[in-house]
Chains A and B, each alone.
Chain A
Amino acid sequence: MGSARAETGDLITAREAGLVACRRCGQVHWRGTQVCLRCDGALQSRDEKSLQKVWAWLIAGIVAFFPANIYPMLLTNTLIERSESTILGGVVELMNYGNYGIAGIVFVASIVIPVGKFLAIGYLAVSVHRKDRKRMHQRHRLYEVVEFIGRWSMIDVFVVAILSALVQLNAIASINPGIAAVSFALSVVFTMLSAQSFDPRLIWDADRKDTP
């Protein structure tokens, strides 16, 4: 059993107290209310399918991540050459040019974080499935971090978008996004949705006995 002691009645979850909060606006309602009185959102105490959504979005994100690395991210046309570069290729090129900082940023933002997100969300989902009772705080914090950082993976896409928008000097230099940009964006979106679908209360539910 976890550290929570239900029989003392010191800590009561809202669910046990028969309350439900709107996930959007936080308004507390009595259980049984269908619609939030404040934001008209659907009231649901626990979403049983949330884990499915998490997994679905996660898988989609993973699937979309592969073309993002295979296909070129940037199509660069200068006066004398046209080149396509993938994310990793771009990182390597940047490192070859000596821009270690930017290379590091791109690597972190475009490789480390998405992969890390995949792993994190996967771990969270698995841990919820297994009703793991240990390190709940850490897992909750992990969830918070994942959700917070997720959006920052779009940096790479922003870079591509800004470059494409700015460097359109017809003959001299023009940068166009490749397929990988779209794919990467999708991957990031999917992971964000996945993280958003994850209900962190499920982490704490493992500490409870069968709760309806």
Chain B
Amino acid sequence: MTNTPSPAEMEVRPMREGLLSRLSFVWIVPVIALVISLGVAWQNFASRGPLVEISFSSASGITAGETVLKYRDVTVGRVEAVSFDEGLGDVLVNVRVDKDIAPYLDDDAVFWVVQPNVSLRGISGLDTVLSGVYIAGDWDREADVAQTQFIGLEDAPALAPNRPGMQITLRARNAEALSDGVPILHKGIRVGYVDQPELGPDGDSVISTAFINAPYDRLITDETRFWAASAFSINVNTSGLSLDVASLASLLEGGIEFDTVVSGGQPLGDDPVFDIFENATVASDSLFSDPDLPAFDLAVMFDGTIAGLRRGSEVRFKGIRVGQVNEISAVVDDGVGDRLAVDLRAVLGVEPARMGLAEDASDEEVRAFFDTLVSNGLRARLVTGSLLSGALTVELLQLDDAAPVDFDAAGDPYPVLPTTDNLITDVTATAEGVLQRIQSLPIEDVFNSAIDLMNAIEDVARNEDLQQAPGSLVALLDEARALVASDDVQAIPGDVRGVINGVGGIVLSAEEAQLIAKLNAALSTANVTLANIAQGTANLPALTAEAEAVLAKVNALQLATLLTQTENTLNAAEVLLRGEDMQALPAAVNGLLTEGQTALAEARALIASDDLQAIPGDIRGVIANLDGIVLSAEEAQLVTQLSDTLSSANAAATNVAAGTANLPALSAEAEALIAKLNALEVESLLTQTENTLNSVDVLVRGEDMQALPGTLNDLLDQANGTLGEARTILASDDLQNLPGQLSAVIVDLNGIVADIAEADLVAQVQTAITNANAAISNVNDATAGLPAIAEELRALTQTANELELQALVDQTQGTLSSIQAIMDQTETQALPGSVAAALDELRLLLADVNEGGAIANVNAALASANQAAQAIEAAAEGLPGLSDRAAILFNSVDGVIATYGAGQRFNAETLATLRDVQAAADAISNLARTIQRNPSSLLTGR
């Protein structure tokens, strides 16, 4: 079968699939890709906003393609191109703005470049440091006619154009209160801020726009007053130092406060302008008075210096500030003869409205007003404004008695106001004067005198005698105390009282017994007796022998001290006699003493008489006679006479003894009386004594009694003289030779005595002597002590009248022996020694004190006091210089304070610096906070 016709081969072709079946699904992918790409591209293109052109003066960091446009921190556009204007004018920045934002870019849209800005309102735009600058825009929310070309601002606008609130204009004298960004405060709340200040249209003020936020702008009315919130103010004036410090916030950034104090303000007109006052006080003052009052210029010519007056010093009228000093200058005045004089002229800017005139008074009215005032006595003068700094103010005052002066209303260039005396208190001069007076005090002399005085006191204190004196005085005091404490002295008051009583009794009995007459008679007989002494020389040897013995004892007794003691005794007797008790003696005693005085005078005369002077010669003769007498006495039986005499003397002595025997009893009675008196009440004793004394006093009132002390003194003087004469006599040669002769006489007498002894006269004499001694001892016992001597003397004279001479002589002898006994008393002899011992003790005391260093301490204290005085003196010398320097210091302090006052440049600069510092501090704190909380926001923004 190779050639069988076969059917034609059918062309078998595979079925051609449809297009869709031939297409694979893969084609979807490119289709989708295409669609996506094209869709995205179209969308980008279609949603592009319009291109807006903003012109700036410099690109300041704007980069094409990167810099964005932000509205309220939301990116709404991007810079596409940065180019220049024609002629290289402005920089044109083309910004592609979002489509939905574009319609809002109308007339009020503002654009500015946000850069980092440190200002009072804080640090802004810090994120642009990292991310680059961006353009910020601000527009309102109404879509007006859209624009595409804008002019960019240099700086961010201070006033947000779209915030609700009010825009006002503030005006001030200078820009220190109106800085950029200064907040406006109301009661401490920030309600707005101030824009950049500019110079006002008249060049005299500074104007700035301010913005006040929404709810607070309703507070602004016509009567609102703005003032600069003060940071701090120091005020030093006559009322003291006042320091006002505001809060720390306002201290750093300042502020402007406002307040509407009065109601009824009108609503504001368009573009209201407000003035800024210095402080709240001035602001509120201006509510009641217009601060812009017209000022009227007056010139005042001052005499003398006006240092302390400066521009701006106040002018006061009755305490109210009515103006200020505008100008101070010197004016040449050539109206005084040939000499040119220079006067000081101050131009005062006075606001007459403050002095009472109407505000709109014309110039003529003002001149007439001042004319009237000046003719009524208005004058100007300088007064001290500040004591501390010496600043002056001008005061206008009305003088009642001012000399009439014409008000030079037409003065050129200003009317001249007459002046009167200034009232300047120069504190520094007064202080200087006071200090000079202090300096002129003779402090050195006073100190020298004090030093000399202290030296003298020191010398006196160092005196050895004085140092010994205390010891001796102490011993003396001890002895005196012992003496006083001795029973005898203790008994003296009792004895004195007894004496007083006795004297009282004596006086009483004297009145009755007329003792005076008797005493007179006794004295006359004593006179006779004394006259008989010259004849009774037989007794003289014995008397002289006794006297010699006494004198010998006296010699042994240290005559000088004896005489001193006798003088002291006589002085004591004188004291006693001068005492009141003695004053109570009757006047007759005065006579008695006078008689005694005369007797003593006669005795003196006698002693001084040639007879007595011749006595020693006579005595020799007498002795010779005595021999003969003795010889004859033997024959004449003188012994018998002597025995009779002696017996009578014995009897007399017995009488005396008996009499004096009563004395102890008397003294015992007196003592008993005294005891009774002691048992009695004191008042009765005193009354009795007083009665006695009164009775005595009656007697004493006599003139004779008054003269008693004098006569007594004379008597004592005479006695002293008598004693002196007696001493002279004793010292005479004749008397010196006497003892030899007397010894011979005594030998003879011894023979006589031997004979007498045979006649038992010796025994009688001895008995007589014993009786006398007993009498005297009784007297001693009864009235021991010195007054006993006077008593004895009185008794002596009393009995002298009755007794015979022998008895008298015996009594005298007894008296002398008693005196001798007293002299023999150990106490008396020991008196000088005890005084010396007292002085020794005082000396020892002083030595102790000296050892204790008290004196040395006193010396040291004195020396230090001396040094202190010298230091004070040196310090006082520097006081005037110190006051000068203090004055200079005060002046400089015042100047310094003035530079720190308000309105000074330093203050403004300091405030500005402080504000900047505050702003920087704010920024730093913000940064720190941001870094703490959200560090990435530093880069990416908030």
Contact = CB atoms under 8 A, between A and B. Distances in A.
Interface of A: 48-49, 52-53, 56-64, 66-67, 79-82, 170-171, 186, 190, 197, 212
Nearest to A67: B37
A52 B26 contact: yes
Contact of B30 (A59, A170, A197, A212): A59
Nearest to B937: A171
B34 to A, nearest CB: 5
A49 B37 contact: no
Given A49-B24, A52-B22, A171-B938, A60 B30 contact: yes
B272 interface: no
B288 interface: no
Given A52-B27, A60-B32, 7 more contacts: A49-B24, A60-B34, A67-B40, A80-B131, A81-B66, A186-B33, A190-B30
Contacts of B29: 56-57, 60, 190
Given A48-B22, A52-B23, A171-B935, A63 B30 contact: yes
Contacts of A79: 130, 939
Nearest to A212: B14
Given A49-B22, A67-B40, A171-B936, A57 B30 contact: yes
A31 B49 CA distance: 64
A147 B301 CA distance: 115
B37 A170 contact: no
A190 to B, nearest CB: 7
B132 interface: yes
Interface in B838-871: none
Contact of B37 (A48, A52, A57, A66): A66
Contacts of B939: 79, 171
Q: Which of B22, B33, B130 has the most CB of A within 10 A?
A: B33
- Interface residue tally of chain B, by bracket? 20 to 34
A153 B22 CA distance: 31
Main secondary structure of the interface of A (DSSP, over half): helix
A56 B29 CA distance: 7
29 contacts: A48-B22, A49-B23, A52-B23, A52-B24, A52-B26, A52-B27, A53-B24, A56-B27, A57-B29, A59-B30, A59-B33, A60-B29, A60-B30, A62-B30, A63-B30, A63-B33, A63-B34, A63-B37, A64-B37, A66-B37, A67-B40, A81-B131, A81-B132, A82-B131, A171-B935, A171-B940, A186-B33, A190-B30, A212-B14
Nearest to A59: B30
A56 B936 contact: no
A66 B37 CA distance: 8
A120 to B, nearest CB: 18
A82 B68 CA distance: 12
A197 B37 contact: no
A56 B22 contact: no
Contacts of A66: 37
Contacts of B66: 81-82
Contacts of B40: 67
Nearest to B24: A49
A80 B130 contact: yes
A63 B132 CA distance: 36
A124 B190 CA distance: 80
A171 B29 CA distance: 39
B13 to A, nearest CB: 10
A61 B40 CA distance: 17
A53 B27 CA distance: 7
Interface in B22-64: 22-24, 26-30, 32-34, 37, 40
Contacts of B22: 48-49, 52
B723 to A, nearest CB: 139
B399 to A, nearest CB: 81
Nearest to A53: B26
Contacts of B34: 59-60, 63
Given A60-B33, A64-B33, A81-B132, A197 B936 contact: no
A81 to B, nearest CB: 7
Contacts of A197: 26
Contacts of B23: 49, 52
Nearest to A49: B24
A190 B33 CA distance: 10
A204 B543 CA distance: 210
Contacts of A63: 30, 33-34, 37
Contacts of B14: 212
Contacts of A80: 130-132
A62 B33 CA distance: 9
Max count, chain A CB within 10 A of own CB: residue among B29, B131, B935: B29
A64 B938 CA distance: 38
Given A79-B939, A171-B935, A171-B938, A56 B37 contact: no
Contacts of A186: 33
Nearest to A52: B24
A53 B131 CA distance: 48
Contacts of A64: 33, 37
B157 to A, nearest CB: 28
A153 to B, nearest CB: 17
Contacts of B130: 79-80
B714 to A, nearest CB: 138
A25 B66 CA distance: 55
Contacts of B936: 170-171
Contacts of B30: 56-63, 190
A93 B449 CA distance: 108
A56 B132 contact: no
A67 B935 CA distance: 36
B24 A56 contact: yes
Contacts of B935: 171
A62 B31 CA distance: 11
A67 B34 CA distance: 11
Interface string B117-153: 0000000000000111000000000000000000000
Nearest to A62: B30
B14 to A, nearest CB: 8
B29 to A, nearest CB: 4
A203 to B, nearest CB: 20
Contacts of A52: 22-24, 26-27
